[in-house]
Structure 1
Amino acid sequence: MYPPRSQRNEGRKKARKPKIGKAWIITNLVLLLMIVGLFGYYYIFEHDNSGSLAENGGYSQTEKKIQTGSASEERSTPSVSESDTALSNKQLDEGPHADKQFADDETKQSAASDTSHRPATTSDTNAPEGSSSGAKLSSGKDGQAGNDMSKDVYDGNPSADKGGTEDVKKSKTDDAGSPTVTLHFVGDVQFSGKVEQRLEQNGFDFPYQYLGNLFHKDDLTMANLETPVTTNGVGALNKTYVYKSSPKALTALAEAGIDAVNLANNHILDQGTGGLLDTLKYLDEKGIAHAGAGRNAKEAYAPHYFERKGIKIALLGTTRVMPEANWNAGAKLPGVAGAYDSTAIVKSIREARMQADLVIVIAHWGKERATALEPHQTELSHAFIDAGADLVIGGHPHVLQGMEQYKGKWIAYSTGNFIFSKSTVPATWDTAIFQATCTRKGACEMKLTPYRAELGQPIPLKDTEASKILQRVAALSPENVSIGTDGTVSAQ
């Protein structure tokens, strides 16, 4: 007999329950595995993707550093325009012809007057190679132009460029309260012709009577010596105006506190190589340091090093004004450090940057009696600073020109005359003493003190006359440069 239908249904329900339970468990396990799989996949994918992004980011950063480094290297080895790399006939003639406006007050020397001087002998024109060591070090305000640095500055040290200019500066420390140095720069100085006549009458200390002990209180004073100092020499035949100054003038120059002179200019070889060699000898005897010319290219392009308050200072001189191409110093040829091709002087600046805390370049350039800049003045000054110069001081125009701050470094384009003959062009009478107060890191503050360059003697100016000169220099400078009533120069 069969059981009732209700009992059969109850039995079927009991039989289905285990099956449903197993299916539920299996379903949950499958769902759980899917969830775990999704999380695992997401984690693995995102981790790989972020790693890939990190790698790509690292590559981009490396690529960026390489590009930045290349740009920095290009800035540290600037090139001047092609027109500046050679002396054209027009450029060579610029110096002598430009001097014609000084006919009433500069010394004329004809071929007849030159016959009174002995010709340069072999010993005059060919000093023994290596007779000077190039870079030298002077210690103290009145230090001699002394100790051999035993560094081949012109030929260079292969490791000198390691790290570049920026790395060198970053490696230096300048704690708060560290010392600063006070430097003074004056314009063109010569003791020839009418200037010499006046000094013979009034004494060779006549030019410095209004300066007091100004140049003794500072740390370093520099001028552009625009004359050979010799009792011999052979006057140049291809120039309208030829200078020649007595060695007696150097005694008073040194006693006035002038420590160093730039010799890279368009008059230092007016008495031939013999006159230049005499000039070097007399300067060394008086303990006056010099840069920009030498017995050979190594000497001419070499910096002169000074030590002041624990700050090492490098001084270099260069000229882009030469009557003849053979005024350039050669391997065995006395001459000047030329800048028509800026390669050699830029190389010397870069090497000086590796050795010194403060690098100064005095440049002879521009157009005489012109307040407007020539393109090469801006190109060269920027190239010098890109190479490592902290301060660039210019001369040759015989008038004051503007000032510029480039990459935080000051450029004074022309300091005018200082001890010179007096022309009929009033602009050549205005001059100033340029003061720079500099830190170990090469940051300088500038100040101008106006003077009037009378015949052989600078006279200090005050009030309205001084203010006019300061306003004129400010007007010739870029718009962001201003000069206060006290002569302080600032850039915004």
Structure 2
Amino acid sequence: MSISRSDKHKQQKSRRKRRMKRLLILNGVLAGLIIVFAVLLWGNNNGLWNNGAGRTPEVAERHNPSNANNHGQADSGNGQNQNQEEQPPQDNSSLPDQDDSVQNPGGLSGDGTDTPLNPEENSLTPEQQPASPQYGGQGEVLLAFVGDILLAGSVQKKLDEEGFDYPYAKSLSYLADADLTAGNLESPFTTRGTPAEGKQFVFKGKPESLPALKEAGFDVVTLANNHTLDMGVEGLLDTMKHLDKAGIPYVGAGNNDTEAFAPVILESKGIKVAYIGISRVVPNVEWKAEKYRAGVAETYDTTRAKAAIERAKQEADLVVVMVHWGVERADHPENYQRNFAREYIDAGADLVIGSHPHVLQGFEQYKGKWIAYSMGNFIFNMTSNEKSAETGVLDAKCSRSGDCQMRLHPMKAVASQPALLEGEEAQALLRRIESISYGVQIDAEGNLSSRSQRGGLQ
């Protein structure tokens, strides 16, 4: 049976119509899928599908009445060599700090000669709050703290060999799982600058190491210490710039004294936490921030610090004071440290976290508020001094009202890499810290309580 040319034409036209129809349907399906994917992506970026999990702070704001230099949000990481004394290279950058600072430079007030305190006095305990079944319960925020972080000197050599994330590998969960994590950043980060004169140890970190610090979980750092201006004002300004670029808020230093004393206020779980950084270890009076001079916030006199605390308390639920003070390698705080801590708390501080001695010191509770006199080294050059390798992460699970349950996770740094201690090693370190604390008990899990108080973090 033959088919006419017109019939063939009709059949071909019909087939073309069917193919066109199928093509239109297929294109419609693909367009629909693209639209659905775009909506899902937009919703994820704008937090519509976020169930509240995760540790990124909801707010990271640097409060500055002069509005001169606001700084943004932050987070994370870096390492060093085993427990042996290091020989100083020519630039003296690979040795640990050996108290090259002046405890009271000319022009700064405060002599620290307070009357010795009775360890049992003024350790007032509030009503104990019931423990929640897990961290970050309803109406609570989990804050984590570490001591000195040095990403320079011989630690830098380890970073160059192992990578910038090396120091955090064995402590990462304790840093990143907290709602907010803070530490003392013990060096400038710059590729230029003039080394400070008259200092035995001058440090200089690589700016490329800062993104790893954020990724490890750090939300804020203090620059109020005796190494921030090791490379001069130029190095300090570069450090602030690189921290801003990495998204890590900082306290304790600024372009002027207003900025240096200004808090960073972070919000997590609906609770606002203000961080303030101050130092009573300033190598030279010219490091002190002034109205027209960049520098650090000092606390040889408590007046400015207390005023900053009072202002922060009006804007935040919790106020954390991170203070650089004390004597290196000393197990106990100086009398002025205990007096100053009380003054900070009386002004409105909810937590006082100390650094600088390079060893862990004890804890104390005053009017229901906790004081950690020194968190020791966290990431630092290694020496033969075993106590300088003892470290840890301090957890504070705090309610909006400022009641905090404290827990110390005992660690030891090997080759500038902190790792959790277990078994008898952990218990021995916890017992030692308890023995140098004031009216404080530390149980086998690292929970802190006053001698009249039981319980802790679950």
Deviation at 1:259, TM superposition (A): 0.8
Deviation at 1:152, TM superposition (A): 5.1
1:397 aligns with 2:357: yes
Deviation at 1:454, TM superposition (A): 2.3
Deviates more, 1:423-432 or 1:406-415: 423-432
Q: Tell me which amino acid in the other structure corresponds to 1:325.
A: V
Q: Secondary structure at the match of 2:413?
A: strand
Partner of 1:263: 223
Q: Tell me which amino acid in the other structure corresponds to 1:418.
A: F
The 1-side partners of 2:404 and 2:351 are apart by 8
Partner of 1:489: 448
Which of 233, 237, 246 matches 1:286?
246
CA contact (8 A) 2:60 2:265 kept: no
Partner of 1:142: 56
1:384 aligns with 2:336: no
User: What do the CA deviations read for 1:257-316 (whole angstroms, capped 9, x no partner)?
Assistant: 111101000000000001000110111111111111111001000010011111111000
Deviates more, 1:420-429 or 1:387-396: 420-429
Partner of 1:254: 214
CA contact (8 A) 1:421 1:454 kept: no
User: What do the CA deviations read for 1:211-269 (whole angstroms, capped 9, x no partner)?
Assistant: 24332321100010000011111111210000000011101111111111010000000
User: What do the CA deviations read for 1:403-425 (whole angstroms, capped 9, x no partner)?
Assistant: 00000000000000011001121
Q: Secondary structure at the match of 2:319?
A: strand
Q: Aligned ranges for residues 225-264 of structure 1 at < 5 Å?
A: 225-264=185-224
Deviation at 1:429, TM superposition (A): 1.1
The 1-side partners of 2:172 and 2:368 are apart by 32
1:218 aligns with 2:178: yes
Q: CA RMSD in A?
A: 1.8
Identity over aligned residues, as a percent? 46
User: What do the CA deviations read for 1:386-417 (whole angstroms, capped 9, x no partner)?
Assistant: 00000000000000111000000000000000
The 1-side partners of 2:367 and 2:401 are apart by 14
Which of 381, 391, 403 matches 1:431?
391
CA contact (8 A) 1:254 1:287 kept: yes
Q: Secondary structure at the match of 1:213?
A: helix
The 2-side partners of 1:152 and 1:411 are apart by 31
Partner of 1:182: 142
1:296 aligns with 2:296: no
Which of 372, 382, 385 matches 1:422?
382
The 1-side partners of 2:434 and 2:426 are apart by 13
The 1-side partners of 2:264 and 2:244 are apart by 13
The 2-side partners of 1:485 and 1:332 are apart by 51
Deviation at 1:459, TM superposition (A): 1.8
The 2-side partners of 1:267 and 1:182 are apart by 29
User: What do the CA deviations read for 1:59-106 (whole angstroms, capped 9, x no partner)?
Assistant: xxxxxxxxxxxxxxxxxxxxxxxxxxxxxxxxxxxxxxxxxxxxxxxx
User: What do the CA deviations read for 1:349-386 (whole angstroms, capped 9, x no partner)?
Assistant: 01111111100000000000001211111111011000
Aligned residues: 331
1:191 aligns with 2:151: yes
Gaps of 5+ in 2: 1-53, 69-131, 453-458
Which of 165, 169, 189 matches 1:205?
165
Deviation at 1:197, TM superposition (A): 0.5
Q: Aligned ranges for residues 60-139 of structure 1 at < 5 Å?
A: none
Gaps of 5+ in 1: 1-139, 155-175
The 2-side partners of 1:153 and 1:360 are apart by 22
Partner of 1:341: 301
Which of 245, 248, 265 matches 1:305?
265
Q: Aligned ranges for residues 359-378 of structure 1 at < 5 Å?
A: 359-378=319-338
The 2-side partners of 1:356 and 1:146 are apart by 12
The 2-side partners of 1:452 and 1:147 are apart by 33
Structure 1 or 2, whichever has the larger Rg, is 1
Deviation at 1:455, TM superposition (A): 2.8
Deviates more, 1:317-326 or 1:208-217: 208-217
The 2-side partners of 1:147 and 1:459 are apart by 32
TM-score, normalization: structure 1?
0.65
The 2-side partners of 1:189 and 1:332 are apart by 29
